[in-house]
Amino acid sequence: MPDYKQTDVHSMHTGCPVVEGVKWNAVKWLHGTPFRGDEYERALKEPFKPLPDPGVCANLHEMCETWALQGECTNNPGFMIGSGASMGSCRLACKDCEECAEGDLACYRRNRETGGFLNFDESELKGI
């Protein structure tokens, strides 16, 4: 029987320190069988829908204005405005973001920030 109190040296990893710019890390999970098989099968049959851009202030559901008037921005902020794990569906109706003029990068960046998303400079992505 393995000793679970000892560190598994195969799980350890190292990384170089950041000398300049930003350090990015991406994790990819691999499963031997489909994770959440029913969702996987359904997703294979549905057309791909890209995630909305968090810098663009929008309502992602036709009922957002109605729900906002009913107080759902306060009662259900996770769905309406979003949380650290996901972007809200009704940020425009809840006035959690601002509609930006075409090409207004500062406004776009503010919307990303208020939505809890990272703002980055294209130069930080060099070498990726």
Domain boundaries, the chain: 53-121
Question: What is the model's pLDDT at position 3?
Answer: 58
- Residue 13: predicted pLDDT: 66
Q: In the prediction, which pLDDT does 62 show?
A: 96
Confirm if 52 and 88 have CB atoms less than 8 A apart: no
Which candidate, 58, 55, 59, places its Cα nearest to that of 106? 55
What pLDDT, on the 0 to 100 scale, is given for residue 86? 78
Residues of the chain with pLDDT under 50: none
Give the pLDDT confidence of 90-117 residue by residue, as tens digits. 999 999 999 999 989 999 999 988 888 8
